[in-house]
Structure 1
Amino acid sequence: MFLMGITEDNNHSVVTEFVLIGFSDRPYQNLCLFFVFLIIYIVSILGNLGIIYLVYNNVKFHTPMYFFLSNLSVVDLVYASDIAPKMLVGLYFSKTYISYVGCAIQLFIFCALGSTECILFAVMAYDRYVAICSPLNYNLIMRHKICLVLMFGAYSTGFLHSLIETCSTFHLSFCASNVLHHFVCDFPPLLSISCTDTTINEMVLFIFSSSVTVPSIVVILGSYVSIFITILKITTPNARQKAYSTCASHIIAVTLLYSTVLYVYLSPKSPSSRDNVNMATVFYTVVLPMLNPLIYSLRNKDIKLAMIHLFQSKL
């Protein structure tokens, strides 16, 4: 062994583990970030578990909108738990080690749930489109069987996309270095340390990522264009305000997700931009799963009342 995590095998060096170096090499700064993100992670766990509990234990929330919202909380809960624990260890010790298999598993879950969330946001936009633009047919169109099919499609597409991407990435050879200047196993840093040609992988990554994100964005934009046109035709101010309020939370969440994801994957890859990319990745992998339940609960009167009743009943 000539470097920790890299062994000699038949005169070839083979990576057995990766070193994650996420933020700075200043222990004090990392320790401050550790406590900040620990609090964020705890709030994320409690917030998403709260949404899931309320939806599945309150008959009032057994509707398509809350069914999709509870699934968003499930995705966010697992998504953050895939990233945050290892990131917190890295912040506390300034760097951390992750096995080759562990890195592959983390990347698979990271990609699968990220892709699923993108598709789920599109499904939620379509649900709002049907509710506002075709309210009389809402119960017929968004019946339980259709909701299950939509959710199965979101999960299966996300996991299939991740399986293809992860297998193609770990089919590469890693021999020159095992240091990832990131706090998570992600495609760009892994491709950057591969000692084989990554041209095909980059093409596959672009094609399959685009096949998930572009249709999702088109559905979201198309749904909200139709929604806003319909809302403008509403003459009653109260009805118009109610229609706006049902969409506001979703628009905020979608904007936060796609703005940071596009920044991470479209920004120039250079050492000077590495810290900004890392922080942006933290935002949509750790911070956004905390914000989603807050965004939806604080702007939803029914969820706020249900939470108040829940806390009062536990006191």
Structure 2
Amino acid sequence: MSGSYYIPSETKWPFLSTVALIILFVGLSNYLNDESDLTLMFTGLALLMVVVYGWFSYVIKESEAGIYNSQVDMSFRWGMAWFIFSEVMFFSAFFGALYYARELSLPWLGGDGAKVSTNIVLWPQFENVWPSNGPENYGGDFIYMKAAGIPAINTLILLTSGLTVTWAHHGLKEAKRNQLIWGLIATVLLGFLFVGLQAYEYMHAYSDLNLKLTSGIYGSTFYMLTGFHGFHVTLGAIMLTVILIRCINGHFTSQNHFGFEAVAWYWHFVDVVWLGLFVFVYWL
């Protein structure tokens, strides 16, 4: 019926993904606190990969069966839009924490302006400098991460990947298959290159700069912001890989390709977040 609306049947995937994420993060938390090895974390990661594969396959089969109409398509679009909005709020909270630490907490503890008594009475040794490693050098000596080098290269990589995914999108809309495939291949490679360079940056920061999670407010905000963004880039690169495979198999047409558009929206979002990170975490 033309006015019918497809209602998906009950599914186990949301429950299983929740279980996998709980196992993954409990394992990671235990490892970071030296309470266990990485076995539990990798168990959760393996289960999550199985769930993602099963869930993606299920949705793809529904799409290819042609049971989604315009109402379902609009539901998907609103769902993705609200998901990205929730991610905007997520990162806004982290950027807000960085702003609060730099512009409010540090001047207060350092005794700037009318807050001089706070510094004299409570923290006489504290200086309002950024990067800060806490009162009385609590976080230990470290070297801050500069914008030049890997961060600047990663900025160029992500901006270029935004261009290549847009080029691929135009290829899809204009039925130019080679442009679509090669644009996606370039985007996927650039995405994983970014992740690899950030992993190298972390090793350099930890071993050569002595920059750790315990390195005061600077270390915690640095790893919090860049780490969660790196996770989102990894997730986006995986989704782009799935979209690439689907494009190779001819799953999309110039009129019907919201799966591609949703991932492209997400990829542009992580591009914008990175620009904010580059300016406020690395540069300023």
Q: Pick the TM interval, shorter chain.
A: 0.3 to 0.5
**Greater C-alpha radius of gyration:** 2
Name the structure where strand makes up a greater proportion of residues: 1
TM-score by length of 1: 0.33
Q: Which has the higher contact order (CA 8 A, sep 6+)?
A: 1
TM-score by length of 2: 0.36
